[in-house]
Structure 1
Amino acid sequence: MGTTVVRVVVGDVVTGYAPEEVPVLAALAHVDDAEVVRILRGRRKGEPLGFGFAEVAAVVTPVVWLAVDEACRSAVQSSVGSAYARLAGVTRRLLRRPSAESATEVPELSRDQLDVVHRRVTEDARTAGLAAEDAERLADRVVARLILARPTSEGTGTGRDGDGGGTTSDDRPGA
């Protein structure tokens, strides 16, 4: 059983839904997750990303990345083990040591947490200019991919970790 990280989920969704934004993912490949979130949060609607792709108006990538990251972080913070994670983070900052693994792992999300992700993606996609139907479709795809990221129970053969996930049909707008 492996783990899935936010950038894999985002990559799968963006590749399937908005392949024209794949160069944005490529540009973010060498940036750690915390810095990606900082870049995407600091960006105003319609403002280009600040890393050499001025002509790329990424819509899907920021919406998906920020929603999935926020859901994962809130799930981890609400878990019992989060006290240890916070203590380790404080210790790293005090010692000025980077985390050994800067990628944000996707925990198993409850139905309520998945509903929050769906609402967040739908609202943010609408704010970013997607039509209501397209925003709904994007949110459905994100939630489906998060469900596929769930760890499998030993011997059950259900769920998938870190693979392509997603659907085989192209449900992008206009496709």
Structure 2
Amino acid sequence: MEYVLLGLLALRGQTIYELSKNMKNTVALFYSDSLGGIQAALKKLMDKEWISCIEIVEHGKLKKVYSIEAPGREQLLDWLRSPIPIDKLKDLAVARLFFLGLLPAADRTRVLESYAASLTEMHRHLTALEIQAALMEPEIPEDKRDIYRCQMLSLRYGVDQYAFSAKWYAELLQNMREGGGRSDGSLHGA
């Protein structure tokens, strides 16, 4: 999470609440956005002197605004330049699917229907965000276009990932309803 926060702070100085809101609206697809996690990561970054904090009074309220410092920017750029590791896919839904056979068929169907509906709803939400963000493109200053394009690519990844997952689970449900299900794990008969 530390590098995600450094990235957000490289865009502009922000309060913890702005960071939390921006995480929810941007990187929450691939990083937890809990306030406690953000606070802990900000403390680590402060201890390393990669970020700084100033207190300002705005509308009679004291706010702490965090900003990236030169060492933090160097660390962020080093992280961005480093090879992207191929890691095991960590998907809690797949772990649950692995053990779902322990449930009675009716319960399995209910769980999978609920999950498939959630995937479809998230896909709709991300598609709407993508459309909304595309409408903002003409307003993006030229010096920020590369940042915007990469952010749009991560959003496109989310749209495509949720579309794939929703379709996959819908096919799984259809196969289960038709009494199918092969021991080799395929969804369709060969």
What range describes the TM-score normalised by the shorter chain of this pair? under 0.3
Larger Cα-atom Rg = 2
Q: Which has the higher strand share?
A: 2
TM-score (norm 2): 0.25
Q: Which has the higher helix share?
A: 2
TM-score (norm 1): 0.27
RCO (CA 8 Å, sep 6+): is it higher in 1 or 2?
A: 1
